[in-house]
Structure 1
Amino acid sequence: MKKIDGGVTAAKGFSAASTAAGIKYKDRMDMAMIYSEKPCKAAGTFTTNIVKAAPVKWDQEVVAGSPYAQAIVVNAGIANACTGAEGYGYCMETAKAAAETLQIPENAVLVASTGVIGMQLPMDRITAGIRAMAPKLSDTLEGGTAASKAIMTTDTVNKEVAVEFSVGGKTVTIGGMCKGSGMIHPNMCTMLSFVTTDLAISKELLTEALREDIKDTYNMISVDGDTSTNDTVLLLANGMAENPEITEKNEDYEAFVKALNIINETLAKKMAGDGEGCTALFEVKIVGAETKEQAVTLAKSVITSSLTKAAIFGHDANWGRILCAMGYSGAQFDPESVDLYFESAAGKLQIIENGVALPYSEEEATKILSEPEVTATADIKMGPCSATAWGCDLTFDYVKINADYRS
């Protein structure tokens, strides 16, 4: 198993395109299309926010009820959330336009939107964008990369990854792209992730693999504690690797699960590390937990603590904020048994032992916390379980970005 260059076009049969439709942005690409030359098994996970955007509702129906999916149309700038029946109707219009252009069924088209909540889509621009993209569909690395850039909103970098592995003597490829920078606190942001693979696998196992993996990947990141109306992860498998179809949980299934985890964890960390205004990816590991649930609760409590995030921004080893966040998480543990470490490319330093501060160099701690990727590890000494969560620091720029986001 190895990482390779690429994203959603890495797997056989998948192509992508992008265009500047002028939906909200006037100076950049803002629409993307992903297409498979063969019908795909489709799986998806979606926001648990009660307020769900129209594309989420449309995709839930397609994933659950359609025999297959073959295309995804994405726009940036307008979220098509809180738009009522009109907004849902625009999802239908988008699917119809794509179906007519690509010569596939309407219920084989998935749609996604990201951007400002409450605005209606300019359908003349959406349909024109679809017609513009179809002839430009490309299976090249460049085509996939351009698509990953077109779906960005406040993201500062595009996000894509691909992996190759072997199943039944066949080379299988899985690749993905995502966007997400603010309103990131998945519970399955505006977080969108699209993963494609040429693996042959049953829809049931494809769905189970995705639903299980998001628990340790997308659901373990947080930028600002806000769960979006539009969170969507879509996974398409077209079977063009021609491996024996995976219909049971065997070694081939486990290989796919491992590859899917690499894709999803990489994309999740890219989003956390590109949080709005952030300067550092903040990783929190809880080890020595009695249960996985306990470890997850503690880790997520720390990465969502505004005070802890601010301390990371200030490169300040204010470990009391971490213990405090663990203490109000709702998980039970003995604070007088906790060991805490800070670690980065600049080194590793133990800060507390059994809940009490150790003598340490503030200068060394600041050096460690000044790196672009910082890890805090808390050992609570209760058992064999662990969990890792990812977030980012909280900066002045986060407030600036979100104070005038609509304008």
Structure 2
Amino acid sequence: MRYVVIGGGIVGLAVAHRLVQDRPDARVTVVEKESGWGAHQTGHNSGVIHAGVYYKPGSLKATLCKAGSASIVEFCDKHGIAHKVTGKLIVATDASERPRLHALFERSVANGLPVRKVSQAEAREYEPHVACVEGIHVASTGIVDYKAVCAKLAELAAEAGAVMRLNTAVTGIRSGAREVVVRTTTGDITADVLVNCAGLHADRVARLAGIQPPARIIPFRGEYFELRPDRRHLVNGLIYPVPDPQFPFLGVHLTKMIDGSVHAGPNAVLALAREGYSWGRIRPRDVAEVAVYSGLWQLARKHLRYGVTEVRRSLSKRRFAESLARLVPEVTAADLVPAEAGVRAQAITPAGDLVDDFLIVTEGHQVHVLNAPSPAATSSLEIAKYITARLPL
């Protein structure tokens, strides 16, 4: 059986690795338009091994994230990839946030996670500089370098016989009754099964393959700062606010990375290109697609106040620092230096709803991963198991 995997981020590489592990006779080809693996979402994320706190019990995100937080650690242990299970604090900074914190605790318990409520004094045993009235501690959260995980997955897949094609962009797809032909800038690839893990471009690849996706990818830029080296002592691990369920993102938080740096963010603003890592990166085609999409306008109407707040914070380091100071009051604008941004591929329905769960569409001999934002990196090995179990032999 011949398989072609489109996309060389962590999900695509995990699928290729799982295929060559489970099906030694499989002929697997991975195509990636960039010159390296994990160049976009995977290589620009916060490096967090998520526990699965936020996700609806029984959802794919909840199930695969919980399993993935264990399997990614096991993979890193086996292959000598630097990682650390640090735990994290989620804190209520005033009494009004307590009901949301308690609801999050109950959801975490329902998801079978190792969590406990902590008092203000107990929170400061973990994070001496934190400000809160109460918190929850999640023991299974950690940090890792996901690009290092990608490199190892690519290496293992290649060693097992997969054909790994970098600098190879997909230009067209012809799907027949028995096989699919993927046209690329380095030649055609004929396969029995296509797996689309194209991330920021997943909906476009689906349309090339004749599939009408039920949602469209809208890119949101996650903007980060990091603390100056002499201020890193303010954070021991991971400090998160209680998310507001009315809004689609988690809010800015503080993360001590695997290299000891402390990242602050992300702010979330609409990107003006699918790979728009700055305000100056604009692609007219991407802007035009967004401008005419009814789903985005519906979303904007629902979350206008939130969107305005994010844009203001994007344009003001002082506002960004003020948000962080709610968690750690000693943080000031002078402590922040710009860090690399990321772009989140968020699927939005025509009705303006964010797709909450992973969205994986199977049709004939094609599988399309159409929504895999965070915690997809954490869940990547489990997403691969989920997909390959449903592929024809």
Do they fold alike, i.e. is TM over 0.5? Answer: no
TM-score, normalised to structure 1, is 0.25
TM-score, normalised to structure 2, is 0.26
Does 1 or 2 have the higher relative contact order (CA < 8 Å, sep 6+)?
2
